[in-house]
Amino acid sequence: MYPERFSNLPAHAWPRLRALLDAHEGGGTPIHMTIGEPKHAFPAWVTDVIAQNAAGFNSYPANDGTPQLRGAIAGWIKRRYGVDVDADTQVMPLNGTREGLYNAVMATCPETKNGQKPAILMPNPFYQVYMIAAISGAADP
């Protein structure tokens, strides 16, 4: 029913982590492994800005962002790295890092590298998109 390539996908990060941890006795201080979960109240002005712009929350933004957003990104790149980029042709807003990381692999991973299957280094093996992108790009994670 499903394409065979789906059966070749690895287990999700949590079962892989459980397999690593099961060999060790539990206990000790818990380590919270959330990714960016807010822990502090945000400033009151944020609520005011959200309320002022609530009418805009009933539709998705344009896929390529607004000229103001792309301009702000280009400005940040200039301030941070001293590099000029064209906001209209060299800046691509994304819906999130996973989308960008996955699409970067799809766009840049060669079918072979020096006659072999390419390899992709993963800075965080538990951020699932690295492995899935590598496998989808026919590379070794």
Residue-wise pLDDT tens digits, 102-122? 988 988 898 888 999 999 998
Residue 118 sits in which domain range? 95-141
Most confidently predicted of 71-75, 106-110, 130-134: 71-75
Query: What is the pLDDT of the chain when averaged over all its residues?
Result: 87
Most confidently predicted of 10-14, 45-49, 54-58: 45-49
Q: Is residue 120 part of a domain?
A: yes
Question: 3-state class of 113 per DSSP?
Answer: strand
Per-residue pLDDT, 81: 98
Q: What are the tokens at 119? A: 């390899």
* Residue 102 and residue 136 in one domain: yes
Paired strand residues for 119:
140
DSSP state of 61: P
Q: Is residue 51 part of a domain?
A: no
Please tell me the distance from the alpha carbon of residue 134 to that of residue 74, in angstroms, as a whole number: 29
* Residue 103 and residue 135 in one domain: yes
Instruction: For residues 1-12, give the mean pLDDT.
Output: 71
Q: Is residue 137 part of a domain?
A: yes
* Residue 118 and residue 83 in one domain: no
For the stretch 23-39, pLDDT in tens is 988 888 887 777 777 77
Please tell me the distance from the alpha carbon of residue 42 to that of residue 34, in angstroms, as a whole number: 18
User: For the chain, what's the residue count?
Assistant: 141
